[in-house]
Amino acid sequence: LVTNEVKNVAVKARAAPPALPESPLICNSQDQMLVQQLAEIIKVYGGNIEQDEEFN
């Protein structure tokens, strides 16, 4: 997920994406659900920060 987001930002900025380490596979379904929930939280906070005029 992070790799895709970084690549998307790099494409929008017309820059080369940085080299990122390979992420390990998550075999446990509970761990996978936790990672997905954390990713959604990060997206929400990131979107809120982008829209916050005082922050930018």
The tens digit of pLDDT for each residue in 24-35 reads 788 899 998 998
The total number of structural domains in the chain stands at 1
What is the reported pTM?
A: 0.50
Burial of 50 (0-12, 13-18, 19+ CB in 10 A): exposed
Distance CA 14, CA 29 (A): 36
pLDDT in tens, 3-55: 777 778 778 878 887 777 787 788 899 998 998 899 889 888 887 777 777 76
pLDDT at 1: 63
Residue 50 lies inside a defined structural domain of this protein: yes
Residue 56, pLDDT > 70, answer no
Structural domain contains residue 9: no
Q: Is the residue at 8 inside a domain?
A: no
Domain of 29, in residue numbers: 25-56
